[in-house]
């Protein structure tokens, strides 16, 4: 069920203003702002949560409040209480600012005629090729637009006028697996934003080749798992959108090439901006995203009133999308602070004991990181908590792993958990589009996919650890 933002007036303005403040404050911090800015971020998040509190799912409110209560209890036992709290707030603020920027871009993509043509062509693929096409496209769209890109692909994969079928379900799963793979390398994902903030010695361009390589392995594993799980295919596509289009759609390349050029142009602009201004890749996306969204809205607007219409579209996008970040605000603030505080309060002798057990065995250390994130995600705890905790306690030094291998293992576990756990937003959305049960679309369909990918990733990262 869609959650409506605050209705109108002052509450809506306060919610939108709070998100804008978080974006500005995050950029200020990226350019060398003081640690005291954490108080501004916390106040802005509190305003957003208070205004939209009634629209936050009750279970999410309860979980977040329990995490905050745990943080308060553990805070006296931390080695540096203020630094731990500030670190958690900055992590959550960075992630929320990133999501806000990407939301503005995704709204433009949904209006694009080229994107709509891509969806029509992908749905028209034979059932044997449809999975692969949507899996690759899902990774590209998700990699450039995050969860918003996955939602665009799910709209393409399961249109309302297409009936339920094994092919439809497999197509939706293909998109979720593409989203999971994009989490290994994409700079617009929250997991990358959080982890790069915790690994100051690493830059995104160093992580990208390893993550992208592991992501492409998921394509092969996904195709094999999909073929094995579907021993028999329907003799023909069900009657629906793919079969009832009266006119032949334009060739896929004529629509896909402009879309890809814009996406990669955006990524290139982000990288250049990051390099020139000496800021992190995530802060660069927060800075560049709204500018690119405005330019795209100008291009998509009707001639004659392009700039005024574009400004109106931007305002509508912020009004409709920003208040919905209240759920993420309460979860990420609670999980970010709890993860940081728990890591700072975790007894050092326990950390040393884990290091003694796993430090000399790269494969076990890597597998331990992945299994911890996926296992705890299956229990209903958001991976942001586990990832912050693991990155802050079971550090590369403790497990005797190169930082590049360490962050890649956490990214892989986090990415796979997105499609594996029934408690993720992705799984809830996929269940609705496929028309099948939540557990069936997540754990039921993806346990083998996640297991084999985790094993292969552990082996390959072990080899990389030995070479570095």
pLDDT digits (tens, 9 = 90+) for 404-418: 999 999 999 999 998
pLDDT (average), residues 438-463: 91
Determine, yes or no, domain membership for 53.
yes
Determine, yes or no, domain membership for 368.
yes
**pLDDT tens digits, 341-368:** 887 888 888 888 888 888 789 999 999 9
Residue 237, pLDDT > 60, answer no
Determine, yes or no, domain membership for 4.
no
pLDDT of residue 266: 82
3-state secondary structure of 34: coil
**pLDDT tens digits, 68-83:** 888 889 889 888 888 8
Determine, yes or no, domain membership for 3.
no
Residue 16, pLDDT > 50, answer yes
Percent of all residues in the chain with a pLDDT value above 90, rounded to a whole number:
24
Range of the domain at 349: 9-233+248-467
**End-to-end Cα distance, the chain:** 48
Burial environment of residue 55 by CB neighbours within 10 A (0 to 12, 13 to 18, 19 or more): middle
Residue 1, pLDDT > 70, answer no
E strand or H helix that includes residue 33 = none
pLDDT of residue 206: 92
Residue labelled with tokens 């919610």: 15
Residue 304, pLDDT > 80, answer no
Determine, yes or no, domain membership for 199.
yes
Whole-angstrom Cα distance, residue 428 to residue 151?
A: 11
pLDDT of residue 380: 64
Sign of CA dihedral 157, 161, 165, 167: negative
Determine, yes or no, domain membership for 1.
no
Q: Which range has highest mean pLDDT (12-21, 83-92, 265-274)?
A: 12-21
* Dihedral, 309, 311, 312, 314 alpha carbons, nearest 10: 120
Judge whether 421 and 427 are in contact, CB under 8 Å.
yes
**pLDDT tens digits, 189-216:** 777 877 887 888 888 889 999 999 999 9
Alpha-carbon Rg for the chain, nearest whole angstrom, is 22
The domain total for the chain is: 1
Q: Angle of helix 81-111 relative to helix 306-321, nearest 10 degrees?
A: 130
Whole-angstrom Cα distance, residue 388 to residue 258?
A: 37
pLDDT of residue 20: 93
Determine, yes or no, domain membership for 2.
no
Determine, yes or no, domain membership for 398.
yes
pTM for this prediction: 0.74
Whole-angstrom Cα distance, residue 284 to residue 225?
A: 37
Whole-angstrom Cα distance, residue 443 to residue 112?
A: 34
**pLDDT tens digits, 71-126:** 889 889 888 888 888 888 888 888 888 888 888 887 777 677 777 777 777 777 77
């Amino acid at each position: 069920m869609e959650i409506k933002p605050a209705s109108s007036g002052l509450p809506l303005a306060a919610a939108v203003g709070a998100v804008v403040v978080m974006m500005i404050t995050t950029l200020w911090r990226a350019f060398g702002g003081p640690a005291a800015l954490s108080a501004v971020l916390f106040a802005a998040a509190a305003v957003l949560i208070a205004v939209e509190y009634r629209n936050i799912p009750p279970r999410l409110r309860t979980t977040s409040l329990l995490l905050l209560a745990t943080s308060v209890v553990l805070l006296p036992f931390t080695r540096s209480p203020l630094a731990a709290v500030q670190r958690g707030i900055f992590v959550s603020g960075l992630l929320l600012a990133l999501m806000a920027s990407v939301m503005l871009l995704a709204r433009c993509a949904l209006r694009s005629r080229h994107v709509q043509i891509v969806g029509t062509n992908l749905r028209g693929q034979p059932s044997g090729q449809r999975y692969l096409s949507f899996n690759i496209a899902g990774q590209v769209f998700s990699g450039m637009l995050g969860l918003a890109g996955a939602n665009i692909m799910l709209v393409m994969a399961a249109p309302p006028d297409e009936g339920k079928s094994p092919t439809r379900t497999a197509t939706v799963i293909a998109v979720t697996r593409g989203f999971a793979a994009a989490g290994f390398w994409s700079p617009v994902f929250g997991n990358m934003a959080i982890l790069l903030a915790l690994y100051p010695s690493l830059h995104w361009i160093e992580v990208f080749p390893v993550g992208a390589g592991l992501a492409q392995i998921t394509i092969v594993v996904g195709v094999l798992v999909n073929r094995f799980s579907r021993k028999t295919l329907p003799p023909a596509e069900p009657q629906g959108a793919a079969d009832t289009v009266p006119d032949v759609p334009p060739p896929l390349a004529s629509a896909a090439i402009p879309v890809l050029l814009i996406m990669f142009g955006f990524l290139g602009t982000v990288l250049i901006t990051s390099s020139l201004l000496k800021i992190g890749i995530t802060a660069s996306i927060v800075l560049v995203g709204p500018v690119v969204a405005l330019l795209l809205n100008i291009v998509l607007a009707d001639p004659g009133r392009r700039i005024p219409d574009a400004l109106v579209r931007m305002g509508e996008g912020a009004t409709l999308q920003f208040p919905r970040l209240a759920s993420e605000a309460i979860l990420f603030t609670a999980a970010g602070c709890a993860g940081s505080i728990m890591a700072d309060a975790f007894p050092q002798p326990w950390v040393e004991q884990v290091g003694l057990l796993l430090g000399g065995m790269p494969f076990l250390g890597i597998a331990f990181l992945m299994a911890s994130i996926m296992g705890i995600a299956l229990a209903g705890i958001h991976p942001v908590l586990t990832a912050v905790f693991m990155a802050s306690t079971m550090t590369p030094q403790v497990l005797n792993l190169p930082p590049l291998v360490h962050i890649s293992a956490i990214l892989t576990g986090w990415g796979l958990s997105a499609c594996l756990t029934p408690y993720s937003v992705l799984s809830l959305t996929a269940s609705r589009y496929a028309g099948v049960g939540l557990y069936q679309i997540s754990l039921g369909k993806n346990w083998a996919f996640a297991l084999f990918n985790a094993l292969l990733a552990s082996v390959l990262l072990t080899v990389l650890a030995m070479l570095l």
